Amino acid sequence: MSVVQRPDGGAEAISDDRNDDAAADANAAKGHATGHGREAPAGVRKFIKADDGASVPLSVDEEQASASASLTSSSSSSSSSSFAAAASAAILSTMPSQLELPSLRTLSKLALGAAQAVLGASSSAQATGTPDSCPNPTLSCSSSASSNTCCVNSPGGVLLQTQFWDTDPATGPDDSWTIHGLWPDNCDGTYNSNCDSSRAYTNITSILKSFGDDSLVSYMDTYWVSDSGTDESFWEHEWGKHGTCVSTLDPDCYTDYTPTQEVPDFFNAVVDLFKTLPTYTWLSDAGITPSNDDTYSAADIQAALKKHHGYDVYLGCDDGTLDEVWYFFNVKGSIQTGTFEPTALVGSSSTCPSDGISYPPKN
């Protein structure tokens, strides 16, 4: 887990990749031609280019990925003995060569990581546990915020719903922005990442479908797409890097927890929030439409979005071309059952010029 401060106005510090290891791989293979590729997706042996030109490698633990792949191939049997054997094999494969017994907490987390491969392959919807009850929810980052991290996200009380406008290559519908993710930032603008490697699941599609969320996957196939690599690897990365840092999604925050049920809770929350933020429509209503000829001012773009969101948003530009918007929220209660309340931009400032911003059409 890492904690990083994004200085205001620093293009490198607030790149969409937000990866601490980018500098170490500056000479590795390059990605998106525009220099504005996705965060390095998990589970894929490739490099993705960050905003600063550096290439970011896969950060998922190789042993875990290997164990997960092995379990997936053996998950055709649905008996309890097969499940137990698969979980045991995954646990043993991650133990050190010396006889050093892991703690009970470590064994528990490893078992969850093993379970996701088997349960994720199920063809019928699974029963789920219930998120902890929060009868008097409090607002994250407020002076009255609860100390119960199952009822308020902490740290990470500022939730950023991040969107992209990709034109080279074009992704998603011509009349819609697309989802990047949901990032839990700390109240001071710093953030944690990759908070629980034992739950950095590598079969998001299978997990979602195992809980009956086929329609969610279909929506994500259209509106949560990668401009390089596979959509699945993009989702895996967003979950592993950001989703595991949402405290209210911890397995301990459920009664009768079903392994991996926090995954559909996370992706449903992201998609539901995205649907309330129609960036394309809000800009279009203000006369700001994609064009190869017209340009726009940052003030006009901010005004169009603030009219609906209530606060300034982060505007991201690549060489004067608008391609990112981040909306900031606090959450009253848990991510699963709480209410997202818009809040002021924290810790980042726009990378767009004040005037002459281009907003090209996708096609």
Task: Please give the positions annotated as active site.
Answer: 180, 238, 242
DSSP 26: T
Q: What is the 3-state secondary structure (H, E, C) of 314-351?
A: EEEEECCEEEEEEEEEEEECCCCCCEEEECCCCCCCCC
Q: Give the pairing type, strands 130-131 and 254-255.
A: antiparallel
How far apart CA 36 and CA 53 sit, in angstroms, is: 8
User: Residue 50 gets which letter from DSSP?
Assistant: -
Cα Rg for the chain, rounded, in angstroms? 21
* Number of other CB atoms surrounding residue 117 within 10 Å: 26
Tokens of 199: 């739950």
Phi, psi of 314 (to 5 degrees): -85, 130
Q: Which of 262, 251, 319, 352 is nearest to 34 (CA)?
A: 319
- In whole angstroms, what is the distance from residue 95 CA to residue 99 CA? 9
Say what angle helices 231-241 and 262-275 make with each other, to 10 degrees: 100
Q: Which residue has the tokens 């006889």?
A: 99
3-state secondary structure (DSSP) of residue 83: helix
- Within a 10 A sphere around the Cβ of 168, how many other Cβ atoms? 15
**Which two three-digit tokens encode residue 209?**
């479908």
Q: For residues 215 and 275, is the Cβ–Cβ distance under 8 A? A: no
Contact status, residue 266 vs residue 249, Cβ threshold 8 Å:
yes
Q: Give, as one character, the DSSP assignment of residue 226.
A: -
Cβ atoms 42, 241 nearer than 8 A: yes
